[in-house]
Amino acid sequence: MTLDVERFRSRLQAERGRVLGAIDNLRHESSLEEEVDESLLDNHLAETASVTIDREIHYSLEENEARLLAAIDAALVRIDDGTFGRCERCGKEIEEERLEAIPWATLCIDDKRRDERG
Ligand SMILES: [Zn+2]
């Protein structure tokens, strides 16, 4: 199998740009919330609580995006060192359809399924 790594590289870079934009947006929205927060009075505890929950959701979204960003960066490194598309665990080539769906995948479908089964 000969992978067109350059095609995956541009997909990963595009996805990377999208993730960076998403993180930026989340950070921007969080800082807007902080401004609102400061203007809240003590008798608005309920609202304060819901802002806190929103913020937690934001943080976990940001965390997800940050994790994705790390996975994308790692995949770009693997393209450079020539190990892209190889399963981290068994060393076999990852199915091309799988890479099409998840270009930053590190495991072949067999190992991934084994993982999910625990
Ligand atoms: Zn494998």
With 70 as the cut, is the pLDDT of residue 58 above it?
yes
Query: Looking at residue 85, what is its pLDDT?
Result: 96
**9 Cα–ligand 1 center, Å:** 21
Q: Mean pLDDT across the chain, nearest whole number?
A: 87
What contacts 67, CB < 8 A, 6 or more positions away? none
What's the rounded Cα separation, in Å, for the pair 84 and 2? 11
Alpha helices (runs of H) in the chain, residue ranges in sequence order? 5-39, 45-81, 96-101, 109-117
**69 Cα–ligand 1 center, Å:** 22
With 80 as the cut, is the pLDDT of residue 90 above it?
yes
Give the mean pLDDT of 36-56.
67
Q: Would you place residue 112 in the very low, low, confident or very high pLDDT band (cuts 50, 70, 90)? A: very high
What are residue 93's DSSP bridge partners? Answer: 86
The tokens describing 51, both together, are: 């802002």
**34 Cα–ligand 1 center, Å:** 45
**100 Cα–ligand 1 center, Å:** 17
**118 Cα–ligand 1 center, Å:** 15
Q: Would you place residue 11 in the very low, low, confident or very high pLDDT band (cuts 50, 70, 90)? A: very high
Q: Give the count of alpha carbons within 13 A of 39, CB side only.
A: 5
